[in-house]
Structure 1
Amino acid sequence: MSSVLYDVPGPRAVVRNRILGIVTILVVLVLVGFVVYRFWVTGQFSAEKWYAFTFVRIWEQFGLATLRTLAAFAVAAVGAIALGFVLAIGRLSDHAWVRMPITGVTEVFRAIPVLIFMIFLYYGLPVIGIKMPSYWAVVIALIAYNGSVLAEVIRAGVESLPRGQREAGYAVGLRKAGVLRLILLPQAIRAMMPVIISQLVVCLKDTALGFIITYPELLYFARLLGSNAVLGSPLIPAALVAGTIYVALCLALSYTAYVVERRLRRSPRTVAVAGVPAALDAPTTATETLAAQRASDIIRDRDAGGS
């Protein structure tokens, strides 16, 4: 017996998979237990190590550090998405004088590590007389790197669509900008939404690199608190609290993406434009007919809205 994508495992395979699952769970539990045991033996759970967290001022500083992290992420995320669209459209251009420089810029931004970019902006530019605050060094570095990655994601999503979608749009009188904006990009964004969100999660976590250039974000404060000898040097407790906050932020971002994806799926306009049915496996003529019908619906809706 087989399914569409793989053979259904038989009795022996089922038993083997269950044994592997049980062994994996036991190994993970043993590793977690060993780490917790070492924390307990070294006194990381003692009242002395957690004494700093009895002060309201410490939690206020954690809150301010979290807000600084979110401030850098919010601007970097919006900028990265905008830059990603610009670079992706440039890479999809039919003109070589546009496509080639944009491709070079994208590859350079993708190749430079984020930390090196931050260090160059914060410590390198003052050498030539340009001083940049640590906040903007973090934001610009995150925009450059994540924007170039998102550009490749969007470009790959557009180019993965059937060619008939583009040709049908041209057949009903749309220009390339209209085909890209009304037909191709909605489908590509909806298909690549999980990848886009995962890259934004990476962007959120990369804000922690800002502590290298003294940007007072969450990790910077956790490290500062953990090295405070007066409070007992609670490095591990501070790291656990900061890590918990990062996990909560990432989960909130993932849930937001889930809500947005559900709304896009329910939207009639998105379904009409971005829905890719099973007809993609049909002959090219059927795909072109479907795309032409969608493009005609888009033009009719646009004309009706304009009137």
Structure 2
Amino acid sequence: MTNVLYDVPGPRAIRRNRILGVITVLIVAAGLAFVIYRFAVTGQFSQEKWRIFSFPLVQKTILEATLSTLTAFGLAAVFSLILGLLLSIGRLSDRAWVRVPTTLFLELFRAIPVLILMMIMYYGLPPLGFTFITPLVAVVTALTLYNGSVLAEVFRAGVQSLPNGQSEAAYAIGLRKSAVMRLVLYPQAIRAMMPVIISQLVVVLKDTALGFIVTFHELLYLAKFYGAQVTYGSPIIPATIVFGAIYVALCLLLAALAKWVEIRSRRSLRVSKPVDVQKVELQVNEI
């Protein structure tokens, strides 16, 4: 018997896997080579189509659009986490008059597409007197409502996935439910669901691209604008490559941040100090 969940492949299986790996790499390389060849044949790498991105003013505008995208993402991410945490608390409430409206709110905004929410915020609310709705406000509000509702279910699933003994032990030492949620359940749930939370934040970052529909000057809006410049040969493909690379870089940075947070969390668990019993008893008495 082996101490792993699968049998170690033999010589024939290893040789077969290597052959399949080489074939896969060759197919992917051939596909990329064909795409690059078609780009070259159709003049997508010509100086005329790329010249627009060499202007300092264009580069400055791209930097400003990147900052606008990061601003919308940062605000939407923070507000989504806060809203998701509050909604999850209401979702887990023992009181029906709190739990039922919260559930209806969650189901409503999880069912509405983000693009429609943005259009409602920007085009539907100003005629009703909400004149303060700017493109940034519309984008951030729509992303917050949708992703906050999704994160609320993530937090709830994390709390309910914990063993019942966690809450039972906390109640046994005299903690109230608010203290149990704050000191025992939520810290563990957030740590356990961190990969899912980070993945949802990546969705928030990518969904900022939908802001172009409400004239929010983010990366996709700028890519569409520069790609339609007939004077420079309508550089749609170059604009897609440039702005797509920026999106990929931002997502990779966020993924690296998620990996760093995960490593730090595991390290803090390994090097955590023993629990001070007297301090815990003091906190319980204070509560």
Structure 2 length normalisation: TM-score? 0.91
Alignment-derived partner of residue 53 in structure 2: 53
Is 1:90 paired with 2:90?
yes
The DSSP-based 3-state class of the residue aligned with 2:230 is coil
Change (3 A) 1:204 1:166: same
2:174–2:284 contact (8 Å) kept in structure 1: no
Is 1:262 paired with 2:263?
yes
Alignment-derived partner of residue 248 in structure 1: 249
1:150–1:199 contact (8 Å) kept in structure 2: yes
Alignment of 1:1-307 (within 5 A): 1-131=1-131, 132-267=133-268, 271=272, 299-300=280-281, 302=283
Shift of 1:7: 3.5
The more displaced of 235-244 and 17-26 is 17-26
Shift of 1:296: 5.5
CA distance in 2, matches of 1:196, 1:99: 23
Q: Deviations over 1:244-295 (max 9, x none)?
A: 11111111112222222333333369957xxxxxxxxxxxxxxxxxxxx979
Shift of 1:222: 1.2
2:92–2:99 contact (8 Å) kept in structure 1: yes
CA distance in 2, matches of 1:17, 1:156: 38
Shift of 1:85: 0.3
Shift of 1:303: 7.0
Shift of 1:298: 6.8
CA distance in 2, matches of 1:144, 1:166: 30
Shift of 1:14: 3.1
The more displaced of 218-227 and 12-21 is 12-21
CA distance in 1, matches of 2:7, 2:61: 55
Change (3 A) 1:6 1:227: same
Shift of 1:16: 3.5
The more displaced of 63-72 and 24-33 is 24-33
Change (3 A) 1:20 1:111: farther
Shift of 1:105: 0.9
Shift of 1:3: 4.1
- Percent identity for Structure 1 against Structure 2: 59
Change (3 A) 1:145 1:188: same
CA distance in 2, matches of 1:79, 1:270: 32
Change (3 A) 1:70 1:115: same
The DSSP-based 3-state class of the residue aligned with 2:49 is coil
Change (3 A) 1:153 1:238: same
2:115–2:210 contact (8 Å) kept in structure 1: yes
Q: Deviations over 1:161-204 (max 9, x none)?
A: 11001100000111111111111111111111111111101100
CA distance in 1, matches of 2:164, 2:209: 42
Alignment-derived partner of residue 278 in structure 1: none
CA distance in 2, matches of 1:222, 1:214: 13
Q: Deviations over 1:6-57 (max 9, x none)?
A: 3333444433333332232222212211111111111111111111122111
CA distance in 2, matches of 1:12, 1:301: 64
2:84–2:150 contact (8 Å) kept in structure 1: yes
Q: Which runs of 5+ in 2 are unaligned?
A: none
Change (3 A) 1:155 1:267: same
Q: Deviations over 1:215-241 (max 9, x none)?
A: 111111111011111222211111111
Shift of 1:300: 4.0
| Amino acid in the other structure paired with 1:243 | G
1:265–1:271 contact (8 Å) kept in structure 2: no
CA distance in 2, matches of 1:180, 1:115: 34
1:134–1:210 contact (8 Å) kept in structure 2: yes
The more displaced of 54-63 and 231-240 is 231-240
CA distance in 2, matches of 1:271, 1:194: 21
| Amino acid in the other structure paired with 1:204 | L
1:172–1:295 contact (8 Å) kept in structure 2: no
